[in-house]
Amino acid sequence: MISLLRKAATSLLLITLVAFAARAAFALYETRQIPPQVLRIIPFQTETGHIAYSLASGKGFSSPFQRDSGPTAWLTPVYPLFLAAIFKLFGIYTLRSLFVAVLFNILFSAATCIPIYYAGQRIAGIGAAALAAWLWALFPNAVIIPFEWIWDTCLSALLAATLLWLTFVLAESPRIRDWCLYGLLWGFALLTNPALALLLPVLLLWLVWRDPARGRSRLINPLVATTVAILCCVPWTVRNCRQFHRLVPLRSNFAFELYIGNNENYDDAHRFRPGTVTQDREILRYLRMGETAFMDEERRKAFAFIRANPRIELRLIAFRFVEFWMGTPVPVATFRETPSLLLRALLLCNYLAPVGALLGIVVLVLKKSPYAIPLIAFPLVFPLLYYITHTSLRYRHPIDPAVLLLTAIAIFGMRRLARAEQNESDAAFLTANSSGSTPITPPV
């Protein structure tokens, strides 16, 4: 019976099915609470939905605010094209399109259990691997986001976890074909979520450092993967250069995101973040000025604020650090003021995840794990972009699989440490009794 339970607990198929069922159940519950006329429209009222609308309407990759404003590079192409294909097949702004988009988000999210499991198995064994997959399967954010955000968020989490796992696999592969496929996956990931680019040099440098015995292939293979990834992005970059007459490698909206988190609306009433930038005002300016001039103006204003207020900027970075990991810049006050026990439980899960990740980093460093650097890079490197712009828990989601894997490693690491201490205590007790002495405090 015990072996059967252990087999079920470590079954990747069972974990993935539970993950799918949890997400589907939440989505089904939510759809019954929201009027159909709202469900048809509201989830698509984002830049992703607006660009997909333009694509499906034959207007090209344009108009991130659903007003004809010409070509855009506000987002990278993968997810808007994917959503536009759904619109083409199932109708623009229809319930069927929403259900299909949510279903794919659920599939992406549930499938993330697979790379988490195999990456964890390589790092810490099957027990930690299964625990990490279970944590992801039932993690509240991972259950809620597939329905709440018709965005690339779930796909980005799947791609990030898969890249982590394949980095470990590739460390043992000399075949150039595998490195080309790795580069293709990186290219697809960059065209889905450019923020993942921060991880690319770290993972490739680790692959170079990992096996010095390979000789020339130690450098050639990562160079091939990098070249393939860049070549995947070249057509999109060329398109952007032709449309905007300047170099826009992936996305154009960094200046706007920087301005949102660093602007003149900061005052004593908004000490955790500057006052909200009124979207209607910004949209009107965007429509009047055009994307290129608008971004130049946002960049100028953001840099002016940062240069004029260095101390305030450091304070804002600190607040964004806390908000990225906790979902709020004041986690204790938010927890106290939240009246619902369910919401408090959700907050607690989000609070504990980064704590577990920190302990997991400590365990990997103390064990001198050869896999430590790639995994640690996810929580240490990926958030840097959001510390200087603006953030929310949704932006953390692509690295949540790695965060929960670190948490599982921490749990198993501390468990093994406790067992080792108990064994040492038992050995000392037996040695003391065999020599005829009596320990002052018998072991518990």
In contact, 266 and 305? CB cutoff 8 Å: yes
Q: Per the structure block, which two tokens stand in for 172? A: 């043992």
Instruction: State mean pLDDT over 329-335.
Output: 90
Question: What share of the chain in percent tops pLDDT 90?
Answer: 74
Instruction: State mean pLDDT over 162-184.
Output: 94
Distance CA 137, CA 112 (A): 9
What's the pLDDT tens digit per position in 398-434?
999 999 999 999 999 877 665 655 555 555 545 555 5
The answer to whether residue 395 scores a pLDDT higher than 60 is yes
Instruction: State mean pLDDT over 9-20.
Output: 96
One-character DSSP codes across 351-385: HHHHHHHHHHHHHHHHHT-TTHHHHHHHHHHTTHH
The answer to whether residue 353 scores a pLDDT higher than 80 is yes
Which are the contacts of 418, defined by CB distance < 8 A and separation ≥ 6? none
Lowest mean pLDDT among 142-146, 169-173, 361-365: 169-173
Instruction: State mean pLDDT over 210-236.
Output: 85
| Predicted pLDDT of residue 442 | 38
| Predicted pLDDT of residue 71 | 95
Instruction: State mean pLDDT over 222-250.
Output: 95
For 94-126, letters b (16+ CB in 10 Å) and e give beebbbbbbbbbbbbbbbbbbbbbbbbbbbbee
| Predicted pLDDT of residue 6 | 82
Q: What are the phi and psi torsion angles at 62 (to 5°)?
A: -155, 170
Helix or strand run (H / E) with residue 163: helix 153-170
Question: What share of the chain in percent tops pLDDT 70?
Answer: 89
Helices marked H in 382-440 — which ranges? 384-388, 393-396, 400-434
SS3 267: coil
What's the pLDDT tens digit per position in 375-384?
999 999 999 9
Distance CA 115, CA 405 (A): 11
| Predicted pLDDT of residue 418 | 59
Lowest mean pLDDT among 64-73, 226-235, 352-361: 64-73
**pLDDT, mean over the chain:** 90
Q: What is the pTM of this model?
A: 0.91
Residue 102 binned pLDDT confidence (cut-offs 50, 70, 90): very high
Instruction: State mean pLDDT over 205-211.
Output: 86
| Predicted pLDDT of residue 392 | 85
| Predicted pLDDT of residue 359 | 96
The answer to whether residue 239 scores a pLDDT higher than 60 is yes
| Predicted pLDDT of residue 439 | 43
| Predicted pLDDT of residue 267 | 72
Residue 212 binned pLDDT confidence (cut-offs 50, 70, 90): low
Residue 253 binned pLDDT confidence (cut-offs 50, 70, 90): very high
| Predicted pLDDT of residue 168 | 95
| Predicted pLDDT of residue 437 | 45
